[in-house]
Amino acid sequence: MLELAISTFVVLVVVIDPVGVAPIFGALTQHASQTYRRTMARRGVLLSFLILVFFSFAGHLLLTALGISMQAFKVAGGFFLFLLSIDMVFARQSGLRSTTPKETHEAEHADDISVFPLAIPLLAGPGAMTTLVLMMGEAAGRIEHISIIMAILTLVLVLVYAALMSAAVIMKILGEIGTNVVSRILGILLAALAVQYMIDGIRSSFALT
């Protein structure tokens, strides 16, 4: 169980990337009051939690309804996470793990950034959704495994909230270069995980034939 908790924590930290999200949040709220930042951070984290929990439990049902096997989703999800890892390694902003330039411009003029872009796509983005569906698929309905995944998700989002509220400090300590270095290291780990998902999906497919 400890191994599952550790691996789940590492994977969710890599995918959600609190250190990478914090500077974006800081840029969007740089002229706002502390009360506004706290409200947006709290609301965004809560909404992302609800969205991710929903997809965690509804994802498998959706795949079943569409006739998609978990093996196929592992291969497709692994490929998608690999693309995400490439963005992280090369410090690119393609819209997979952040907002596009047009979305960022729109968010800068929005009164409420908690839903967009904070909750979606920065926190509850396609990478996090895909990862949780894969994790829940591997849990295979085992209550103890599902409980650990949900508990670790809650812990990671608490850390996200702390990172958002400390965005200015993080940027002051790490700067742009430091943030990119952390992102690149996490991207390498995510690439390895993505390849493992694809290998597991292909291996399971051949085992069923």
d(CA 53, CA 166): 25
Q: Is 22 exposed, middle or buried (0-12, 13-18, 19+ CB in 10 A)?
A: buried
Helix, strand, coil percent values for the chain (each to nearest 5): 85, 0, 15
d(CA 204, CA 122): 32
In this prediction the pTM is 0.85
pLDDT mean values, one per 10 residues, the chain (209 residues): 93 92 89 93 97 94 90 91 88 62 65 90 91 93 96 98 94 85 89 92 80
Buried b (16+ CB within 10 A) or exposed e, 164-175: bbebeebbeebe
Residue-range domain boundaries for the chain: 2-208
Q: Summarize pLDDT for 145-155 with one digit per residue, the tens.
A: 999 999 999 99
Inter-helix orientation angle 126-139/143-165, to 10° = 160
